[in-house]
Structure 1
Amino acid sequence: MSEERLWRDLSQCAMSEERLWCDLSQCAMSEERLWRDLSQCAMSCVVTDNDGKICLICSVGGTDKSRDGVNVFGMQLDMWSPPRSDVVAKYNLSLKFPQGEISNLETVSVCYWVQPTTLASYETHLSLAVSDQENDVLHLYRRGEHLGFYYNGVRQFGFPNLTSSIGLHVWSHYCHVFQRGEYRAYVGGEERARGPIFTTKASLSMQGIITLGQEQDQLAGGYDSSQTFRGYIAQLNIYNRSITDEEVDQQATCQGATLGDIFSSDREEMEKFGVSMETINVTEFCKKMVEYIIFPEMRYLPQSKLTCERVGYEVYSPTTPAENTMLHNSSVQFTEECKSNYHLWVGVTDEEEEDVWRKFVDNDVVTETVFETNEPNGGTGENCILMFLPNGRWVDTSCDIEWPACVPCQIDQTAPLRLRGLCYMNEAETFFEVLGYKGGKPFLHGYYGYMVYRNEREEWQMYDTTQSETVALVTLPSRDSYPIGRHVWTLKKSICNNLINSTIHMSFSVCNNFEFSCSNGDCILKEQRCNGKNDCTDFSDEDNCEMLVLPQGYRANQPPVNSSEDEPIYLTSIVRILRLVDISDVRRSINVEMELELWWQDLRLTYLNLGDTLELNKLTSEDTTSIWKPKITFPNVYDGNINTIEEEISLRKLADPQTPDFNDVKMDVAYTGESTLLVQKLHYSGTFACSFDVFYYPFDTQRCFILLQLASVRKEHTSFTSDKTTVDYLEEKLLPGYEVTHCTVAVTDRGNNETRHSMLQVRPYTVGETRVDQTLDSYCAGSLLAYLHVRLAVSLTTLLVLYTLFSNTSNSLPITAYVKMIDVWFFYCIFLLFFITLTHVLTEHMDNRERERPIVVHPLRRQKVEPKVREAERVLVTVRWVVVPVLVLLFNLIYWALLLGSAF
């Protein structure tokens, strides 16, 4: 009856006393005054008669049934069974709102609680379809930790930070708000996402079918077992309005929820196919569940604590007598294994403060202790607790006592075990928990359906419940051992490119990706891996410390390529002159000890477990020979031999390591070729041929080159570059007979047009013979000898001395085809002395002739005879005071101008 339809849009009921027509088909009774079945109404309504018609007087607000209890739907709770596609709860909204009464809504809010017990690769929470073609009108799902949704058939990718922590058996609250093309999402009452929805159609149609736990690839069908939800869903409410932050917080903190005016799982009667349903109080969602697992092996307390820690748990302690009774009852099943009257450790201690018993788990004080009569009685010497088997009461004992007992471990969902060694795509697939008991031992439950348990043959078996097949087996060294840590498994199915019956290393540990898992399952920081110290108790952190991973097809004779394909690899080079062992200008050679340091990158390589210093990152000789490295030759080595004193290659970190591979059983820290430098250090000694120019000796400046050539690789592939090349001189600059002023290096090349190689031209020193010594030896001595005012005999002796000095100096110099400036100096000095000697000879001859000439005296004339100046003496004076000084002055001006001008 069209006039009697009830419009349930809450926006139409905001005013009290407004009369709405009621569809009689939705009422509990017809044709009379009645109370509407509140479970079918969005509002509290009273039916009255008005002129022969049935109407409703509605009050604002809806029924909050959650305060009494909420419906919880359980789906596929048997974790040992494979996932099914026929388990679903659904509701047909078309029957509730016929003939399009509520069809396209631009504002819709969806809130619900979920508690998964096993994860699927595609965990569907809710699916809304209106036809076979429009089967993803609204689809809410989770993949790993990421939440996602389809809106009017379009998958939304714009919310990468919309995540939820992965934890089994824990209730999580979600709210999704779609408002005129905008989206908001809440996880646990906290807003996690906000932004636009990318779709051509902003409104949602409510004329369809809702399913819980399955995605509809067709209307009410087309279910896929890999897209199921396994666990519990509760308090699903759909509103035709934008729910407020206050309402979200109210729901997430278990204070109840207003029933959804479009749909409520606590009001509508859903069709259930293989789905269980129970009613619980809403406060149960926010209760912290405390669960434990008993390890039925007798161990001392330190080993018992370690057993719990290796699975991510801590020794459990009851906090009330009721909890203690439950623990005692649970432990009775292991009386055969825990053979002692004091059979169970309890996780409390008063070591911090006497008679104040605190839990191992969180250090909280246990106020309701359950001690045996006359206990505790050990004082400060007994700070730990054992449970008495006959009645479950406590006795105190020493924490160091060598008393074996079984141990209960409190489950911590925030620290799952991780399986490493397979090839999962999603990290959550590696998560495991210690859950229940099978074969008298706790078993490991994989979040995505794997089970690891001890079978009847006392092997540990890895079983895939999704495929109902065994994956692998391992035999442990003792009956009390668990597959925690690193073990060799035998595969019973082909997996990760490994064949059946092949062996594979796999490990279980609670270590995070930034930690290293020891072989026994203990965790240390990755910085402690391969650091030269034994940080694992089993010393396994120093095993297999290789630093180099060669890719398949790597060739050591093939140089690396630059990231820019058109350019060669440019080497950074540092030449360090350690010492000049010998400088021989006669042999025209220098003997040098030097270091060459080369840096380059090889993008093909991967490096592991690098330390912070080069000393920690030295490659082994085997690794050094397996990679490409520059080969250096010395074209101007004197005798063709160069002595390589030492060669080593180290690695230097340039950037952070790669994102850890959660499947890596070794848990090594990996660095790419781009984030790492190869540093080659070469220590050489050798003699190098030089071409000395001693024309200006001893004011000469010598530049002797050391040539370092890249061999076996063309310049177009690998090359030195000027902006990455330096030279350092590390010895004293003032050497015996020489002085080093500076060092330079230049990049050049060598070869022909077909093959050219890059080369360094190192000028390791600029040397000049020490000028003071040479000036005193040669110039000063020569000058003093040459300028002496001596007679003939002395001049001849001086000439002989000067010639001897010249001969000795010449013998100390390299033989040259040209006359050197020092030769010119000695020639000048010898010539000057020779000239002086000749002058003396000439004047002496002139003097003798004058002495033989007679003196004429006139007898009749009385005149004074004055002494006559002899010609020889006049010549000698002229040469001594005029000729020689002029010659000396002119020669020295020209000589020193040329010499010093070229030298400086």
Structure 2
Amino acid sequence: MITRAFGQVGTAQERKFSGSGQELDLNERKEVLILQQSQLANTQSFAKWDGSLQESLSAFTLCYRVKIYYYRPEVTVFSYIDTQLSKIRTDHNRRGVQVLVNAHGFRVQTDIITPLMHWAAFCFAFDATDGFYAIYFNGEKWQPQAQQNDSESTVSAPDFTPTSTKLMGVDGTIVLGQDQDAPAAVYDATQSFSGEVADVNVWSRVLSGAEMAASTSCEGRPQGDVLAWDAASWTLGEDAAKTLLPLEESCDVFPLPYFLFTEKLKFSDASSLCQAFGGELATPMSQEEQEIIFEQALENGEECGKGGSPLMWLGIRDDIEEGVWVTDKDEKEITYFNWVQSQPNGGTIENCAVMKGEVFQGRWADQSCRKSFKVCPMCTLDMPVFLRFRGICDANLYDDRFVLAGKRNGKPYFRGYYRSQLFFAADGRWRLENIMINDTYAIMEEDGSFNYPIGRHKWIFSHGFCGEQAGVAQSLALTQCAKNTEFTCDDGTCIPINQVCDRRVQCPDMSDELDCSTVQLPRGYQSTLPPPSENINSPLPVYLNLTLSSFRSIDAIDNRFTVELVVRMIWKDQRLLFKHLRRDRQLNIILPSEAQTIWVPTVDFLNAENNQHTKVDQDCKITIKRLGSPLPDDIENSKEGEGRGINKNTENYVSLEKYGLGIRYEGKAQLAEYDIGGMHVERLTSEEPYSGLVIVIMMQHLYATQLVTIFVPTTLINLISFATFCFKWFDFQNRIMVSLTALLVLSTLFAQISDNLPKTSYFKLIDIWFFGSILFSFVIIIIHTLVEFHHHYASPNHTSGSTPLSSHTFRKPISVQDLSKPPKAPPHPYKRAMLINRWGMIISTCSYAIFFLTFWGIAFSQKISENAKHIEAEEGNTTGYPD
């Protein structure tokens, strides 16, 4: 690949080169051919060599210098063909120089870009005896460079494998400016050359590398032994002409990298203007550069500064540290100075610098940077300056690629690649013209900025363009910013494209944070229609996830609770295009005004008060998740951008799916009265033709509270009831009073707790617990009553709690006969009562124990089951394209 050494130092008078032992005078005027003076593609612009080859050539070297006005699909500069249609052709199209030797099936495509409106020098050498070939451009040999494309393959130059020793025959013709499909005939306007050509020479041998390097750097003008430019005679077509130019101009293949703008600007605008053209304010770094810059400023700056007034701004300042001068662009300290005597003397007031005019011979002085001081800027640029015109939707009408091509009417002149020119017209307005169609133009609107077309401006077309009527202002941007990687600020400066709309201002004019809309609606887009699914036979999945922030209140009696929640929905709308997308989804927020124009799914909460549903408002945030790589930059848009390419609807078109768990809770699990248990999402089964989900939230009373306030007190009361069996079995009065009191307390407690619990159509465990406890107390009372019923008293005056009668009370008289018999124990008078008391205690105790164990067994099993459901809900994640 050729590295062009633009900006070779040395004045025009000093650059005298020698060749063949003779020194060249660059002021000498030499013949130059102008092909296509009309600048329009045609077949009448050619120069046919009147001479002929004296013998066939097995080797040759072709050298010439060329300046292209406009590119064509193929730009044929040199064309040779013989009667056998063996052809040699050089093509200088915008993709690179191409050389064709079709008799040997050889074509080499180089990456040498011949710049528009700048002279360039070439040499091409071929030798059919050994397959050697070489290409020289502006003093350097072209070396093919391995390149890497999207498929990661490399590109290399082809080998020249001759099929014979003949390259040119005596029956061949040489034509400049046209591709011959027959000797000196059958031309194609799309393959023609528009520009100037000079010093075309052909040798019958391969020149040495040193000779070709010297010829292409204009260090000499050797003449060919086959075709010698100074002696050659040419037959010109109707659209061709000869002229004389000084060698200084056609040999200027290394243009100086300086461009003076002859409009006085304040320092900040001057700096921005140079940066907009891809350069910076010129600052000499040596005495040699000082002389070159001063000379060029004098030649082009009659309007800038005469006598001793400031001639141009210098790209240095000392506002960071007084007395320490650094470059304006990258703040590097400089070591070369050329101050006027007693300068600098402005202290902290004058932090910029200027180059003085002819009286002071270009010496420097410090100057205030304030806007009231205006001086011409000279920019250091990478010549040639290539530019893009963004917003050109029809490249067949106007070019979208331009090059800075000098000056016209005192302002920069821009030449399009194929058919356009952009210049400052005599009426004081910038004009974009199509040179091939009369009265086809656009005028730049004045917008208050400095009067240059670089950057983004409004243009009014003389005709309908880009879907707009004639006279409608349209946005175009003339920029040198790199495609796909840089963004053009309105003033023409460049910033990395990933800094656009990132909520931080990087452009000097703050234009990178303007018009940060994200959504681009296609033609015919309807926000009432759901987007198509990726699977045409399935409904569009909308993934739902709820986040519960907190429970404000829980009313178990009325089965109501108030909760703060965040609803997240994720879906794909393949109809939309987006721009300025970031990897961070939170930076891709759709503006509220845009959100009203796109399809957004609506979710109804069926059991919420007042039929609550989701809606797009100021509290709603819609973000875009960037998936994959951005689409290529579309230069038909004046602004660079990275792009990618829901109402109720029936389940045939939209399917509501859960994303992840579907629901999660961010608050404390333990509330004042309840513990938030498991949550899970189920599919809604409904007769309505809508897709839905059911959110199940398990709320549990706190076990510790329930144990302390319910189960422990009731168990103690039950123990108190059971403790009455420890009283004397005949103490009915105390037994029955304690048992009845326990029963009344249980009944009261049950009533109070039941009022604070939701009403249900089924028995809850708490109901069963109280029922069992009350039944236990009731059974104890029944047992005590039966014991009392079978308790017989000696007299009516005996009451419950009195001491039972002694055994002598029931003795009968014993006869003499009975004394011989053993005595028979009399039946116990309280045996039945005591038996009922004993078995009643045993049976009630066992029953209560069975009830107690069964109850808590069921309770713990339900708890384990609830925990299992909670675990199952956590493991049963549903995921889709959101990942």
For residues 646-684 of structure 1, the C-alpha deviation after alignment (integer angstroms, 9 at most, x for no partner) is 32212233344332233432x2313123xxxxxxxxxxx
Aligned counterpart in structure 1 of residue 46 of structure 2, from 64, 81, 88: 88
Cα deviation, residue 820, structure 1: 3.8
The aligned runs of 1:216-227 (5 Å cut-off) are 216-227=180-191
Cα deviation, residue 149, structure 1: 6.0
1:387 corresponds to = 356
Cα deviation, residue 809, structure 1: 3.1
Q: Which amino acid aligns with 1:596?
A: V
Could you tell me whether the CA contact under 8 Å between 1:296 and 1:338 is conserved in 2? Answer: no
Where 1:741 maps in the other structure, the secondary structure is: strand
Q: Which amino acid aligns with 2:743?
A: L
For residues 772-801 of structure 1, the C-alpha deviation after alignment (integer angstroms, 9 at most, x for no partner) is 332344433333323332201221221111
Where 1:559 maps in the other structure, the secondary structure is: coil
Work out the CA distance in 1 between the residues paired with 2:612 and 2:326: 76
Could you tell me whether the CA contact under 8 Å between 1:296 and 1:406 is conserved in 2? Answer: yes
Work out the CA distance in 1 between the residues paired with 2:595 and 2:477: 31
Aligned counterpart in structure 2 of residue 76 of structure 1, from 34, 39, 47: 34
1:858 corresponds to = 813
1:450 corresponds to = 420
Pair 1:213 & 2:177 matched: yes
Work out the CA distance in 1 between the residues paired with 2:161 and 2:534: 40
Compared CA separation, residues 833 and 324, structure 1 to 2 (3 A)? closer
1:400 corresponds to = 368
1:59 corresponds to = none
Could you tell me whether the CA contact under 8 Å between 1:312 and 1:510 is conserved in 2? Answer: yes
Cα deviation, residue 296, structure 1: 3.4
1:482 corresponds to = 452
Aligned counterpart in structure 1 of residue 737 of structure 2, from 776, 783, 793: 793
Aligned counterpart in structure 2 of residue 492 of structure 1, from 433, 449, 462: 462
2:152 corresponds to = none
Where 2:810 maps in the other structure, the secondary structure is: coil
Could you tell me whether the CA contact under 8 Å between 1:348 and 1:384 is conserved in 2? Answer: yes
Work out the CA distance in 2 between the residues paired with 1:725 and 1:201: 73
Could you tell me whether the CA contact under 8 Å between 1:115 and 1:233 is conserved in 2? Answer: yes
Work out the CA distance in 1 between the residues paired with 2:180 and 2:62: 20
Cα deviation, residue 847, structure 1: 1.8
Q: Which amino acid aligns with 1:76?
A: I
2:113 corresponds to = 164
Could you tell me whether the CA contact under 8 Å between 1:128 and 1:135 is conserved in 2? Answer: no
Cα deviation, residue 886, structure 1: 2.6
1:758 corresponds to = 691
Aligned counterpart in structure 2 of residue 194 of structure 1, from 152, 156, 159: 156
1:342 corresponds to = 309
Cα deviation, residue 627, structure 1: 0.6
Aligned counterpart in structure 1 of residue 782 of structure 2, from 838, 842, 845: 838
Cα deviation, residue 558, structure 1: 1.5
1:19 corresponds to = none
Aligned counterpart in structure 2 of residue 669 of structure 1, from 637, 641, 648: 641
1:890 corresponds to = 850
Cα deviation, residue 816, structure 1: 3.5
Cα deviation, residue 560, structure 1: 1.6
Aligned counterpart in structure 2 of residue 772 of structure 1, from 697, 701, 704: 704
For residues 60-95 of structure 1, the C-alpha deviation after alignment (integer angstroms, 9 at most, x for no partner) is xxxx97998899984437888545533323458985
Compared CA separation, residues 581 and 109, structure 1 to 2 (3 A)? farther
1:229 corresponds to = 193
With normalisation by structure 2, the TM-score equals 0.73
Work out the CA distance in 2 between the residues paired with 1:346 and 1:150: 49
Pair 1:604 & 2:575 matched: yes
Aligned counterpart in structure 2 of residue 297 of structure 1, from 258, 263, 288: 263
Cα deviation, residue 578, structure 1: 1.8
Judge which range, 783-792 or 465-474, deviates more.
Answer: 465-474
Cα deviation, residue 109, structure 1: 8.2
Where 2:522 maps in the other structure, the secondary structure is: coil
Where 2:695 maps in the other structure, the secondary structure is: strand
Could you tell me whether the CA contact under 8 Å between 2:787 and 2:837 is conserved in 1? Answer: no
Q: Which amino acid aligns with 2:669?
A: K
Could you tell me whether the CA contact under 8 Å between 2:550 and 2:565 is conserved in 1? Answer: yes
Judge which range, 457-466 or 203-212, deviates more.
Answer: 203-212
Judge which range, 716-725 or 569-578, deviates more.
Answer: 716-725
1:714 corresponds to = 650
Compared CA separation, residues 354 and 727, structure 1 to 2 (3 A)? closer
1:813 corresponds to = 757
Compared CA separation, residues 642 and 581, structure 1 to 2 (3 A)? farther
Q: Which amino acid aligns with 1:450?
A: S
Where 2:637 maps in the other structure, the secondary structure is: coil
The aligned runs of 1:48-63 (5 Å cut-off) are none
Where 1:319 maps in the other structure, the secondary structure is: helix
Work out the CA distance in 2 between the residues paired with 1:738 and 1:154: 92
Work out the CA distance in 1 between the residues paired with 2:686 and 2:164: 71
Judge which range, 633-642 or 727-736, deviates more.
Answer: 633-642
Judge which range, 299-308 or 191-200, deviates more.
Answer: 191-200
Aligned counterpart in structure 1 of residue 524 of structure 2, from 522, 536, 553: 553
Compared CA separation, residues 578 and 671, structure 1 to 2 (3 A)? same
Higher relative contact order (CA 8 A, sep 6+): 2
Cα deviation, residue 166, structure 1: 4.4
1:692 corresponds to = none
Compared CA separation, residues 79 and 271, structure 1 to 2 (3 A)? closer
Compared CA separation, residues 109 and 600, structure 1 to 2 (3 A)? farther
Cα deviation, residue 626, structure 1: 0.7
Cα deviation, residue 434, structure 1: 5.5
Work out the CA distance in 2 between the residues paired with 1:827 and 1:478: 90
Work out the CA distance in 1 between the residues paired with 2:810 and 2:334: 146
2:876 corresponds to = none
Pair 1:119 & 2:70 matched: yes
Where 1:773 maps in the other structure, the secondary structure is: helix
**Structure having the larger proportion of residues in strand:** 1
Cα deviation, residue 527, structure 1: 4.0
Work out the CA distance in 1 between the residues paired with 2:335 and 2:857: 102
Cα deviation, residue 629, structure 1: 1.3
For residues 624-647 of structure 1, the C-alpha deviation after alignment (integer angstroms, 9 at most, x for no partner) is 111111111223436634587932
Work out the CA distance in 1 between the residues paired with 2:133 and 2:569: 56
Could you tell me whether the CA contact under 8 Å between 2:545 and 2:658 is conserved in 1? Answer: no
The aligned runs of 1:586-597 (5 Å cut-off) are 586-597=557-568
Cα deviation, residue 344, structure 1: 1.4
Return 5+ residue gaps in structure 1 as ranges.
Answer: 1-63, 674-709
Judge which range, 891-900 or 621-630, deviates more.
Answer: 891-900
Judge which range, 622-631 or 310-319, deviates more.
Answer: 310-319
2:600 corresponds to = 629
Return 5+ residue gaps in structure 2 as ranges.
Answer: 1-18, 146-154, 725-734, 797-804, 865-883
Work out the CA distance in 2 between the residues paired with 1:194 and 1:860: 148
For residues 172-195 of structure 1, the C-alpha deviation after alignment (integer angstroms, 9 at most, x for no partner) is 647587989999988752214536
- Identity percentage of aligned residues: 21
Judge which range, 786-795 or 347-356, deviates more.
Answer: 347-356
Work out the CA distance in 2 between the residues paired with 1:849 and 1:843: 13
Compared CA separation, residues 406 and 434, structure 1 to 2 (3 A)? farther
Work out the CA distance in 1 between the residues paired with 2:81 and 2:763: 109
Compared CA separation, residues 486 and 429, structure 1 to 2 (3 A)? closer
2:626 corresponds to = 653
Cα deviation, residue 459, structure 1: 3.0
The aligned runs of 1:610-625 (5 Å cut-off) are 610-611=581-582, 613-625=584-596
Work out the CA distance in 1 between the residues paired with 2:768 and 2:448: 98
Cα deviation, residue 855, structure 1: 1.3
Cα deviation, residue 553, structure 1: 0.5
Aligned counterpart in structure 2 of residue 506 of structure 1, from 458, 476, 488: 476
Compared CA separation, residues 715 and 196, structure 1 to 2 (3 A)? farther
Cα deviation, residue 726, structure 1: 3.7
Q: Which amino acid aligns with 1:796?
A: L
Q: Which amino acid aligns with 1:118?
A: Y
Pair 1:271 & 2:203 matched: no
Q: Which amino acid aligns with 1:618?
A: I
